[in-house]
Amino acid sequence: MRGMENAPSVVLADRAAYLDAVEEVRAAAAAYYGDGTSALDDDTFDRLMRGIAAYEAARPEDAVEQSPTALVAAGAVEGGDVVHSVPMLSLDNVFGQEDLERWGTGLARRLGGEPRGFHVGPKIDGLAVAAYYTGGKLVRLVTRGNGTTGEDVSHAIGTVDGLPEVLAAPVSVEVRGEIVLTNDQFEEANRIRAEYGEPVFSNPRNAAAGSLRATGRAYTIPLSCYAYTLLPAADGDDTADERGFAERTHSALMDTLGALGVRTVADTPVGARTVATLGEALAYIETVAARRDALPLGIDGVVIKADHPDDQRTAGTGSRAPRWAVAYKFPAVEKTTRIVDVTWATGRTGFLAPRAQLEPVEIAGVTVAFATLHSPGMIGKLDLRIGDTVTVRRAGDVIPYVVGPVVAARTGAETPIALPEKCPGCGGEIDSSQERWRCVQGRACDLSRSVEYAVGRDQLDIEGLGPKIVVRLVADGAVADIADLFTLTREQLVAATGSEKNSDKILANILAAKERPLSRVFCALGVRGTGRSMSRRIARHFGTMAAIVDADAAALQEVDGIGPEKAAMLLAELAELAPVIAKLKAAGVDKDEPRVAAVGQSADAVDGEPGEELPLAGMTVVATGSMTGPLAALSRTAVNELIERAGGRAGSSVSKSTTLLVAGANAGSKKAKAESLGVRVVTPEEFGETVAAYLP
Binds ligand IVH by CB under 6 A, chosen from 281, 289, 304, 327: 327
We find the least distance from the C-beta atom of residue 122 to ligand IVH, in angstroms, to be: 6
Residue 90 touching ligand IVH (CB under 6 A): yes
Number of residues in contact with ligand IVH under rule CB under 6 A: 15
Nearer to ligand IVH, 122 or 164 (CB): 122
Long-range Cβ pairs for the range 661-665 (8 Å, 24+): 661/621, 661/622, 661/623, 661/624, 662/621, 662/622, 662/623, 662/624, 662/627, 662/631, 662/687, 663/624, 663/625, 664/623, 664/624, 664/625, 664/626, 664/627, 664/628, 664/631, 665/625, 665/626, 665/628
Does 460 bind ligand IVH (CB under 6 A)? Our answer is no
By three-state DSSP, how is residue 357 classified?
A: strand
Q: Which of 68, 115, 121, 350 binds ligand IVH (CB under 6 A)?
A: 121
**Which residue type, as a one-letter code, is found at position 219?**
Y
**Interatomic CA distance for residues 253 and 609, integer angstroms:** 41
Stretch that binds ligand IVH, among 119-127, 181-189, 505-513, 589-597 (CB under 6 A): 119-127
Reported as type and span, the H/E element at residue 305 is: strand 299-306
Cβ closer to ligand IVH: 128 or 233? 128
124 touches ligand IVH (CB under 6 A): yes
Stretch that binds ligand IVH, among 122-130, 282-290, 534-542, 658-666 (CB under 6 A): 122-130
Closest-CB residue for ligand IVH?
A: 128
Q: Which of residues 295-314 bind ligand IVH (CB under 6 A)?
A: 303
| Interaction of residue 123 with ligand IVH, rule CB under 6 A | yes
Query: Residue 138 in contact with residue 165, Cβ under 8 Å?
Result: yes
Instruction: Build a one-symbol-per-residue string for 128-167: x at contacts with ligand IVH by CB under 6 A, - elsewhere.
Output: x---------------------------------------
Contacts of 531 (CB under 8 A, 6+ apart): 523
- Report the nearest approach of ligand IVH to the CB of residue 675 (Å): 34
In the sheet with 649-651, reading across from the earlier edge strand, the strands are 649-651, 620-624, 660-663, 680-682
Which of the stretches 234-242, 320-328, 391-399, 424-432 binds ligand IVH when contact is defined by CB under 6 A? 320-328
Using alpha carbons, list the distances in angstroms from residue 210 to 40, 61, 72, 381, 389. 15, 37, 21, 19, 19
**Residue 89 or 100 with smaller CB distance to ligand IVH:** 89
What's the rounded Cα separation, in Å, for the pair 526 and 521?
9
225 belongs to the binding site for ligand IVH (CB under 6 A): no
> Among residues 55 and 228, whose Cβ is nearest to ligand IVH?
228
What is the rounded distance in angstroms from the CA atom of residue 407 to the CA atom of residue 39?
A: 8
Q: Among the candidate windows 123-131, 196-204, 335-343, 366-374, which touches ligand IVH by CB under 6 A?
A: 123-131
- 186 versus 228: smaller Cβ distance to ligand IVH: 228
CB of 286 to ligand IVH, least distance (A): 17
Nearer to ligand IVH, 208 or 570 (CB): 208
Report how far residue 521's alpha carbon sits from residue 588's, in angstroms, rounded to the nearest whole number: 12
Residue 123: active-site member: yes
Q: Which of 327, 283, 290, 321 is nearest to 305 (CA)?
A: 327
First to last CA, the chain: 52
Strands 299-306 and 325-329: antiparallel
Q: Binding residues for ligand IVH, per CB under 6 A?
A: 89-91, 121, 123-124, 128, 178, 228-229, 265, 303, 322, 325, 327
Catalytic residues: 123
